[in-house]
Amino acid sequence: MNAAPSQVVLAMQGVSVTRGAKRILGPIDFRIQSGERWVILGPNGAGKTTLVLHMNGIHQTMQGEVFIAGEKVDSKNKESIRNIRSKVGIVFQDPDDQLFMPTVREDVAFGPINMGVTGAELEAQVMQALELVGMADYADRPPHHLSFGQRRRVAVATVLAMKPEILVLDEPSSNLDPASRRELADILRDLDITLLMVTHDLPYALELCSRSVILSQGTIVADGKTIDILCNDSLMAENRLELPFGFDPKNTLVK
């Protein structure tokens, strides 16, 4: 179960990245409470992926601090990073970046094994994660025999098997057919976990995340309810965010 809703599970304080004399990110300050669902919006090159990769130490923090459930992310401390990466699970845009073992079961088991989980406990974590994404019947299949949508769900399972406190998804709906897109949305909606998503799919953002931030040229230029941001025509236009033809967020029933 998630911790109490009042607990801050992710905090960024003054996080900045510079390359030479150019600042490409920051300063970034925000907090995510346990159980919240956030989406990061913005045009290509806004710094969204750079921001996300600071959350579990893949990118070393140049300036500022990142805290996960009260623990500071320290890229130079291997033990700390190992612990942080068990708390923050990132699902990348291409599932093949995360699936490399002979079978689905082995892919999902890889993370827990590296955390020292074995035996019956390991099997239970693997099967629970696969059940959460509707892929338990595919445990002994080679990942490359699965459809793209099925591979993305297995990639989500590889992260869930680590029992993270925060699930981060980079463009989760990209390259999915309509049925696979809907299936993944149903799965993500039912997960009892703090969720952070990066996407250009604005209907998906509205459906799955109640709160949004817009990142532009490395800084947060808007922060609020997703419905309010998507209904702000001038803000959307200023940040090159366009709704699909015929989609009106004001007339959308969000589950």
Mean local confidence (pLDDT), 75-79: 82
Of the candidates 30, 252, 48, the residue with the CA atom closest to the CA atom of residue 168: 48
Task: Establish if 225 belongs to a structural domain.
Answer: yes
pLDDT tens across 180-217, in order?
999 999 999 999 999 999 999 999 999 999 999 999 98
Task: Establish if 63 belongs to a structural domain.
Answer: yes
CA distance 251 to 208: 16
Return the percentage of the chain with pLDDT > 70, whole number.
96
Task: Establish if 92 belongs to a structural domain.
Answer: yes
Is the CB of residue 198 less than 8 Å from the CB of residue 210?
Answer: no
CA distance 191 to 188: 5
User: Angle at the Cα of 152 (from 203 to 160), degrees rounded to 5?
Assistant: 100
Query: Do the bridges between strand 71-72 and strand 63-68 make them parallel or antiparallel, or are there none, so unpaired?
Result: antiparallel
pTM: 0.91
Domains identified in the chain, total number:
1
pLDDT of residue 253: 59
SS3 call for 195: strand
Q: Which residue has the higher pLDDT, 168 or 57?
A: 168
Task: Establish if 240 belongs to a structural domain.
Answer: yes
243 HSE (CA, 13 A, CB side): 20
Where in the sequence is the domain holding 242, given as residue range(s)? 8-251
Task: Establish if 2 belongs to a structural domain.
Answer: no
pLDDT of residue 2: 42
Q: What is the CATH number of the domain that holds 95?
A: 3.40.50.300
CA distance 125 to 205: 29
pLDDT tens across 109-153, in order?
999 999 899 999 999 999 999 999 999 999 999 999 999 999 999
Task: Establish if 1 belongs to a structural domain.
Answer: no
Task: Establish if 95 belongs to a structural domain.
Answer: yes
pLDDT of residue 4: 42
CA distances from 16 to 28, 29, 68, 93, 235 (A): 7, 10, 17, 24, 24
pLDDT tens across 216-227, in order?
989 999 999 999
